[in-house]
């Protein structure tokens, strides 16, 4: 009995996907619930599992093909039919014997010199002949056995007609223009993934739609580092997760969002929508692109719950297991470029949100503390915001509140 493999429902507003790769080859045996093919949507990559056991007898949608919900991907034959055997390769024709190469004719012996026995002449005569570029064979020799004497050469120089001045050397021909370089062999072309296309569309949408500005500040990380050092072992032992920076920044941002609700708002047509909940998106970089899973109702979660949620999202993002629901929505986003070593950057808005916080690398720098200069672990913060909703005063105030909460984390405990 044949079982069709069809494109499942992909989530709200998603109607099409791309076949990323087949995990099984034609003719291979598959088991129930075994992954068969990966589909790539605008937001996630998901696997389609086998609904029946058998043999993959037909692949309808090849890798790279666009498919719609309910479309046919392939067929599983439950009878266990095997694919047709491949035709044996034709043997390569035998190479024709090479024609014998005739032996090269022996080189003709060089003709003996017929000038005069210059080599047996004296060194003075040889030097004069060479310096004046004379033909020794044309000089009458009066020496013994036909040898040239110095007097013979001097006499030839005196009687020889004046030589014309050497013509100037012809200019070297201009070098021919080099042929254009062939770089095709050193290039690699790969298909742009659907996720990468969607990322590009959303980023360009943010640039084209929002009046985007960025404001900066810096924060002293000394208090957070000291707190983590004091409680990291006890925290991990009790909660089973490490105490990281992100939970502090999520809590610090929520505190500032409550004071400045327009930073947590969005534009919907002609309406300004204030969100009285705090779904914080946390940007995660993967091999296929940037994804932003959302920590729902983060204001109701403790530090340990936030760390566990972010850790789970990171693992699922690397494995390509994030769901559409986990990536949908969000009222504010935090991006940590510091994990890659970024010291300063301007993050781009995640539409339709009105703001995004950029964290960066913690680096020791000299700073003025009172009337002294001290070395402190400092981090630059960047807030990109939509000026249609958020004014400069509000954006700067937001960053100041985040800075205050991070530099004095006890404020978070007493909700200041």
Residue of 33, 297, 387, 408 marked active site: 387
Residues 6+ apart with CB under 8 A from 205: 351
Phi-psi sector, 411: left (phi>0), alpha (psi -120 to 50), beta? alpha
257, 250, 406, 240 alpha-carbon torsion, rounded to 10°: 150
Q: 400 vs 396, 405, 407, CA distance in Å?
A: 6, 9, 10
Instruction: Select from 317, 243, 307 the least CA-distant residue to 280.
Output: 307
Is 275 annotated in the active site? no
* Cα 136 from chain centre: 74
DSSP-derived 3-state class of residue 273: strand
Among residues 239, 391, 408, 415, the one annotated as catalytic is 391
Q: Please state, in angstroms and rounded to a whole number, the distance separating the CA atoms of residues 231 and 247.
A: 14
Which one, of 326, 237, 232, 224, lies nearest residue 284 by Cα? 326
- The 10 Å Cβ neighbour count of residue 411 is 16
Taking the C-alpha atoms of residue 264 and residue 354, their distance in angstroms, rounded to an integer, is 7
- Active-site annotation holds for 239: no
298: which residues sit within 8 A by CB, 6+ positions away? 250, 254, 278, 279, 280, 306
Helix (H) / strand (E) element for 48: namely strand 45-49
Please tell me what DSSP assigns to residue 261: G
Spell out the residues 6+ positions from residue 359 whose beta carbon is closer than 8 angstroms to its own. Answer: 245, 249, 334, 335, 336, 337, 338, 379, 381
Q: How far apart are CA 215 and CA 97, in angstroms?
A: 78
Q: Annotated active-site positions, please?
A: 387, 391
């Amino acid at each position: 009995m044949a079982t069709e493999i069809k494109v499942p429902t992909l989530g709200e507003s998603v109607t099409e996907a791309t076949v990323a790769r087949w995990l099984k080859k034609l003719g291979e045996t598959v088991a129930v619930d075994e992954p068969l093919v990966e589909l790539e949507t605008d937001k996630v990559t998901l696997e389609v599992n086998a609904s029946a056991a058998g043999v993959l007898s037909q692949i309808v949608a090849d890798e790279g093909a666009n498919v719609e919900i309910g479309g046919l991907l392939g067929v599983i034959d439950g009878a266990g039919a095997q694919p047709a055997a491949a035709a044996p390769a034709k043997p390569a024709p035998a190479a024709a014997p090479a024609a014998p190469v005739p032996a090269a004719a022996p080189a003709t012996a060089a003709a003996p010199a017929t000038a005069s026995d210059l080599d047996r002449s004296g060194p003075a005569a040889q030097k004069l002949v060479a310096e004046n570029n004379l033909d020794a064979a044309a000089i009458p020799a009066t020496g013994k056995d036909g040898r040239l004497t110095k007097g013979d050469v001097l006499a030839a120089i005196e009687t020889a007609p004046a030589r014309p001045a050497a013509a100037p050397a012809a200019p070297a021909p201009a070098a021919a223009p080099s042929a254009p370089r062939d770089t095709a062999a050193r290039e690699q072309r790969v298909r742009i993934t659907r996720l990468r296309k969607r990322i590009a569309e959303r980023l360009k949408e943010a640039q084209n739609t929002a009046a985007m500005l960025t404001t900066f500040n810096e924060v002293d990380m000394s208090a957070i580092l000291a707190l983590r050092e004091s409680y990291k072992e006890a925290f991990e032992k009790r909660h089973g997760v490490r105490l990281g920076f992100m939970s502090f920044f999520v809590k610090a941002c929520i505190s500032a969002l409550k004071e400045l609700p327009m930073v947590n708002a969005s534009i919907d047509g002609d309406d300004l929508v204030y969100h009285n909940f705090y779904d914080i998106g946390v940007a995660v970089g993967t091999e296929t692109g940037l994804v932003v899973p959302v920590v729902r109702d983060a204001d109701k979660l403790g530090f340990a719950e936030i760390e566990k949620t972010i850790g789970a999202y990171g693992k699922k993002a690397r494995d390509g297991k994030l769901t559409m629901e986990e990536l949908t929505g969000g009222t504010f986003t935090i991006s940590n470029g510091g994990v890659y070593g970024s010291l300063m950057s301007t993050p781009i808005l995640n539409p339709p949100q009105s703001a995004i916080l950029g964290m960066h690398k913690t680096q020791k720098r000299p700073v003025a503390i009172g009337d002294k200069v001290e070395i402190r672990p400092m981090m630059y913060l960047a807030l990109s915001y939509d000026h249609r909703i958020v004014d400069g005063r509000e954006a700067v105030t937001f960053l100041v509140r985040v800075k205050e909460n991070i530099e004095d984390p006890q404020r978070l405990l007493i909700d200041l």
